Amino acid sequence: MDYKLVTKHFDVTEELQNRMDKKLGKLAKFNKWINHIEIIISGEGDMQNTEINAYLDHKQINSKAKGRDAYITFANAFSKFKRQLEEYETRVTDHHGNH
């Protein structure tokens, strides 16, 4: 899944980039609804902020997490994001799997 990564006062390691690619790759079943994803990681002193914004056809999903470790903040923001996507899928899909 393609996404835009924006960093502010933070350098993304190759390992973190690989983790993001792997997690976002697991969202393939949601591709029909997602138009664009933007991930923003910013550093403020020893704190890291991760924000994930997804633009769907008729909705925007946003999740945020803050902490001292970028790996953990991304994982937490991703968990919130995925839960919101699953809730969206449930709302737009009928019992037969059609939307």
Give 2's pLDDT tier (boundaries 50, 70, 90). Answer: confident
> What's the total number of domains in the chain?
1
CA distances, 77 to each of 23, 48, 83, 95 (Å): 11, 12, 10, 29
pTM of structure? 0.88
User: What average pLDDT does the chain have?
Assistant: 91
- Of 15-19, 29-33, 63-67, 77-81, give the lowest mean pLDDT range: 29-33
Are 27 and 82 contacting, i.e. CB atoms less than 8 angstroms apart? yes
Tell me the C-alpha distance between 84 and 62, whole Å: 9
Q: Which range of residues forms the domain containing residue 47? A: 4-92
Provide the CATH number for the domain around residue 67.
3.30.160.100
Is the per-residue pLDDT at 1 higher than 90?
no
Q: What is the dihedral of CA 47, 85, 28, 78, to 10 degrees?
A: 10
Judge whether 98 lies within some domain: no
